[in-house]
Amino acid sequence: MTKSKKGSVLIVDDSNGNIIALTDILKSEYTIYAAKNGQKAVELAEEFLPNVILLDIVMPEMDGYETIAMLKSSEKAKDIPVVFITSLNNFEDEEKGLELGAADYISKPFSPAIVKLRVGNQIKMFELLHSIEQLSLEDQLTGIPNRRSFDRQISREWKRAARDKTFLSILLMDIDKFKAYNDTYGHQQGDTALQSFAKIFDKTLKRPGDFGARWGGEEFIALLPDTDLKSALGIAEQIRKNTETAEILCADGLTTKVTVSIGVNTYTPGDSNTIDSLISGADAALYAAKNKGRNRVCYFNEP
């Protein structure tokens, strides 16, 4: 294997000769992994997540069609583009491969120039789609994850906490009297306040597993895995204090301040509760914090 410059390629072929030939063509630009059967190909794809898979169609035991079906059913490997390497040249075979999710075809005997171009094109496309995906998960104003990204994260953490029987805590935060702040200072300054708060609470979430996002408008949310209620309240109070003391610079050089109300809820996921009930409990606690005078932390106490 060589040091990766532009990505990595998994070559799947039962012929040593074909693996060696393709490796010689691509090794100067890519890290190369190789498998001689479909089962090993799926294992390597899930372990190393190559940028492209070059897959022979005609192989013993498990052919390329069966292999690509397994790859596309794998949660880890399903998005990796697969390029078929084949000596088959009828339209039915090509159509079948495309229906199963193949990104492209390279015919045997293969041309080194064609192999390089088609692999390069797939990697460029893969990187472009990855960039678009990342943008779709980011709040464009604050630069932190958005609600869609949070939904993905909590789904993963909920399953893990349910499996391990661990606590999962939610902080739902709302900047106090934000409409009045906008009316007083203007929407541009309101955007600055949202950006400032996003930085404050994101920096307060210091543990690697903690995950903060913009929930919408002036609402933000944080997910705290392996965190009981007492610890979650401590983190929430630190966010509240950091927000209260922070100064937000205005265009004229003056500074303003905002405060935040926070609702906290903690569950150990099980049959009697859901993600929705975890969030709705935090929302009820946030509502209580607002009703009690704002700039405070409240937690959900189930009746």
Compare 64 and 229 and report the one with higher pLDDT.
229
Domain ranges of the chain: 8-136, 147-299
Q: What is the dihedral of CA 289, 295, 297, 302, to 10 degrees?
A: 0
Fold match between 8-136 and 147-299? no
CATH 3.40.50.2300 fits 8-136, yes or no: yes
Q: Which residue, among 163, 162, 131, 137, has the nearest Cα to 150 in the 3D structure?
A: 137
B/e letters for 234-263, b = 16+ CB within 10 Å, e = fewer, are: ebbeebbebbeebebeeeeeeebebebbbb
What is the structure's pLDDT at 135? Answer: 73
Please give the structure tokens belonging to residue 78: 């399903």
Active site residues: 218
pLDDT band at 58 (very low <50, low <70, confident <90, very high): confident
pLDDT band at 89 (very low <50, low <70, confident <90, very high): low
What is the structure's pLDDT at 2? Answer: 40
Read off the pTM: 0.66
CA dist., res. 72 & res. 50, Å (int) = 14
What is the structure's pLDDT at 302? Answer: 67
CB 56 within 8 A of CB 86: yes
The arrangement of secondary structure in 147-299, i.e. its CATH architecture, is: 2-Layer Sandwich (3.30)
What is the structure's pLDDT at 252? Answer: 87
B/e letters for 116-146, b = 16+ CB within 10 Å, e = fewer, are: eebbbebbeebeeeeeeeeeebbbeebebbb
Please give the structure tokens belonging to residue 135: 């943008």
